[in-house]
């Protein structure tokens, strides 16, 4: 039989805050055992299944990340509003 872990022990094993563990439980990403109305426990195989579900493997080299602006700068003047200095604005 798998050993039951408290919320604190499970969070420590996963190296995440207890609050994050509670969120994962609330959204259904990790299984748990409800011992009583207020007592929640986690089995070791629940932790292992969660880790297995989070594990990714990337055999390809990552694409280089572009630095700087996220969108290209356009040379066209039709894009956006025209900027008029205060000294050249007409009074209404």
Q: What residue spans define the domains of the chain?
A: 4-54
Q: What does the CA dihedral 47, 48, 50, 55 come to, rounded to 10 degrees?
A: 140
| Spatial contact of 4 and 33, defined as CB atoms under 8 Å apart | yes
How far apart (Å, rounded) are the C-alpha atoms in residues 21 and 15? 10
Neighbours of 24 (CB within 10 A): 17
pLDDT in tens, 48-68: 999 998 887 777 666 666 566
The reported pLDDT for the residue numbered 55 is: 82
pLDDT digits (tens, 9 = 90+) for 37-47: 889 999 999 99
Q: For residues 2 and 39, give the distance between their C-alpha atoms in angstroms, rounded to a whole number.
A: 17
């Amino acid at each position: 039989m798998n050993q039951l872990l408290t919320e604190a022990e499970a969070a420590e094993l996963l190296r995440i805050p207890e609050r994050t563990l509670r969120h994962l439980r609330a959204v259904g990403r990790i299984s748990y055992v409800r011992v009583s109305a207020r007592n929640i426990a986690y089995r070791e195989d629940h932790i292992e299944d969660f880790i297995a579900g989070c594990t990714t493997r990337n055999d390809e080299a990552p694409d280089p990340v572009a630095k700087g602006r996220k969108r290209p700068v356009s040379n066209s003047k039709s894009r956006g509003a025209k900027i008029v200095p205060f000294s050249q604005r007409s009074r209404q």
